[in-house]
Amino acid sequence: MRLTRKLTFALAGAVLLVLGINAAIRINLELPVYETDVRRDGRLLGRAIGGAASLVWERVGPDEALALVADANQRQSNVNIRWVWLDAPPGSDDAPEVAVERLRPDEGAETTTVRWRPPGSPHDALYTYAAVKIPGERRGALELRETLVAEEAFVRRSILQSTLVTAVLVLLCTAIALGLGAVLVGAPVKKLVAQAQRIGAGDLSARLDLPQRDEIGELAREMNAMASRLATARAEIERETDARLAAVEQLRHADRLTTVGKLAAGIAHEVGTPLNVISGFAQLIHDEYPPGTPAHEHAAVVSSQTQRVATIIRELLDFARLRPPRTASEDLTLIARQVAALLQPLAQKRQLTLTVDAPPDGLRCEVDASQLQQVLTNLAINAVQVSPLGATVAIGIDTRQARPPADHGGASGRWACLTVSDAGPGIPPENLPRIFEPFFTTKEPGEGTGLGLSVAYGIVKEHGGWIEVDSQPGSGTRFSVFLPPDPRMEPDA
């Protein structure tokens, strides 16, 4: 509102100035015109009456001439006409009111006009002296006096009129400027300020609706665009922060895997040798005693249990996997079919169908075939284990446009993708972040070691890929293994 007030003051000041100057110019231009008129009237009147008086003086006599002057004075209401002697002593009744020196005494019927304010009078007056030709020595003249009261009245009227017009205009301008200012500037600016405060406070969702097509409207639209851009930028930052946090979490996970891997490898080596000894002696006892004896049966139990421990140790060594993958260009379809064939007996036991859905021409990738087989086996065994009787476990192979996760990095591109889907119970959300942890298992002791997924995770990571899980409790699980595609692979049209 302060801006409006300043503009209003400026406008009113300008109006005041212009109208004031206009009034002054008008008064100054018109006053001389008025005075010139009065002078001319005085001169004409002086010459006319002077001429007549001169004639009468010569033909009839001085008394009649003076009577004519007195009569003319009677007839003129606004002009005072009287006979004066230019040589009369100043101050006497028939001497000119204006000092004779100021009259520039002229010859013949010449006239002189002087502006003078008689002492004691409130107004200036115009004195016109018309010399009158008379016989004899003395020089007579007519004195015509017209008070300039009308002129002053005109000035007063002009000033009053100008003041009135100026006052009305200033009031009008002020009212219009204040009104328009409030509507066009005050209210929208208030909204802009409120919007700026909202944005400052972090609320980027509010939008300003100022339909006006002026600078303020433009500012409002720019402000809206700015809020949108800020919101986008903020969302981007939040997304990046989330990705970074996820990356840190993944790194921590990977770090844990390595540590556990080293520990596991160490323990496996230490336990391996005594386990072989135990297994060997159990075998000896088992062979030494005839079947049916307790020693024979007990030795069989020791033997089978050491077998289990040996399996776990092999898995641990797999997990610790000290050798880097020996990669070659392999057909993923072939690997998938081998795994399916391997798992067929297990699947049959639960009346499951194992399907492999692959592109007809196969899909080649640079992988270590045995390691990738292990990945696929671990995923498929899990799927088989959770599937309800008679369900289907599907292995799929294709290429896909995908963006690697934050910890992996890299731009979106085409990847080879192996999927294993089941119709099992799904993974509860609280377990999802933990399933790749070594030794995390929800299975009964003896049924799961919790190493399958962490082994798969490590292998795929070493191949330059990653694993994604889609799982909703109650609607099955799908594991997707992304691998770098063979560079010779046909680019997708």
Ligand X SMILES: Nc1ncnc2c1ncn2[C@@H]1O[C@H](COP(=O)(O)OP(=O)(O)O)[C@@H](O)[C@H]1O
Residues at the contact surface with Mg ion, assessed by CB under 5 A: 382, 452
Q: Which of residues 283 and 385 has its CB atom nearest to Mg ion in the complex?
A: 385
Number of residues that bind ligand X (CB under 6 A): 21
**Residues 364-393 within binding reach of ligand X (CB under 6 A):** 378, 382-383, 386
Query: Nearest Cα to 96, choosing from 152, 46, 40?
Result: 46
- Please choose, out of 2-10, 291-299, 302-310, 451-459, the segment that lies near ligand X by the rule CB under 6 A: 451-459
Question: Are the C-beta atoms of 320 and 261 separated by less than 8 Å?
Answer: yes
- Please choose, out of 26-34, 101-109, 203-211, 422-430, the segment that lies near ligand X by the rule CB under 6 A: 422-430
Q: Shortest approach of Mg ion to residue 458 CB, angstroms?
A: 14
Q: Shortest approach of ligand X to residue 464 CB, angstroms?
A: 21
Q: Shortest approach of ligand X to residue 388 CB, angstroms?
A: 11
Site string for ligand X, 429-448 (x = CB under 6 A): --x---x----xxxx----x
Q: Shortest approach of ligand X to residue 362 CB, angstroms?
A: 26
As given in the structure block, the two tokens for residue 179 are 């009104």
Q: Which of residues 154 and 440 has its CB atom nearest to ligand X in the complex?
A: 440
The residue within the footprint of ligand X, chosen from 316, 391, 453, 460 (CB under 6 A), is: 453
Q: Shortest approach of ligand X to residue 406 CB, angstroms?
A: 22
Q: Which of residues 361 and 447 has its CB atom nearest to Mg ion in the complex?
A: 447
> Among Mg ion, ligand X, none, what binds residue 459 when CB lies within 5 to 8 Å by partner kind?
none
Q: Shortest approach of Mg ion to residue 449 CB, angstroms?
A: 7
Q: Shortest approach of ligand X to residue 432 CB, angstroms?
A: 9
> Among ligand X, Mg ion, none, what binds residue 419 when CB lies within 5 to 8 Å by partner kind?
none
Q: Is 472 in the site for ligand X (CB under 6 A)?
A: no
Q: Shortest approach of ligand X to residue 436 CB, angstroms?
A: 7
Q: Shortest approach of ligand X to residue 377 CB, angstroms?
A: 10
Q: Shortest approach of ligand X to residue 263 CB, angstroms?
A: 17
> Among Mg ion, ligand X, none, what binds residue 131 when CB lies within 5 to 8 Å by partner kind?
none
As given in the structure block, the two tokens for residue 413 are 């591109």
Per-residue H/E/C for the chain: CHHHHHHHHHHHHHHHHHHHHHHHHHHHHHHHHHHHHHHHHHHHHHHHHHHHHHHHHHHCCHHHHHHHHHHHHHHCCCCEEEEEECCCCCCCCCCCCCCHHHHCCCCCCCEEEEEECCCCCCCCEEEEEEEECCCCCCCEEEEEEEECHHHHHHHHHHHHHHHHHHHHHHHHHHHHHHHHHHHHHHHHHHHHHHHHHHHHCCCCCCCCCCCCCCHHHHHHHHHHHHHHHHHHHHHHHHHHHHHHHHHHHHHHHHHHHHHHHHHHHHHHHHHHHHHHHHHHHHHHHHHHCCCCCHHHHHHHHHHHHHHHHHHHHHHHHHHHCCCCCCCEEEEHHHHHHHHHHHHHHHHHHCCCEEEEECCCCCCEEEECHHHHHHHHHHHHHHHHHHCCCCCEEEEEEEEEEECCCCCCCCCCEEEEEEEEEECCCCCCCCCHHHCCCCCCCCCCCCCCCCCHHHHHHHHHHHCCCEEEEEECCCCCEEEEEEECCCCCCCCCC
Question: Are the C-beta atoms of 170 and 23 separated by less than 8 Å?
Answer: no
The conformational region for residue 292 under phi > 0 = left, psi -120 to 50 = alpha, else beta, is left
Q: Which of residues 306 and 378 has its CB atom nearest to ligand X in the complex?
A: 378
> Among Mg ion, ligand X, none, what binds residue 393 when CB lies within 5 to 8 Å by partner kind?
none
Nearest residue to Mg ion on Cβ basis: 452
> Among ligand X, Mg ion, none, what binds residue 424 when CB lies within 5 to 8 Å by partner kind?
ligand X
> Among Mg ion, ligand X, none, what binds residue 440 when CB lies within 5 to 8 Å by partner kind?
ligand X
Q: Which of residues 127 and 479 has its CB atom nearest to ligand X in the complex?
A: 479
Q: Which of residues 228 and 442 has its CB atom nearest to ligand X in the complex?
A: 442
Q: Which of residues 367 and 453 has its CB atom nearest to ligand X in the complex?
A: 453
Residues that bind ligand X (CB under 6 A): 378, 382-383, 386, 422, 424, 427, 431, 435, 440-443, 448-454, 477
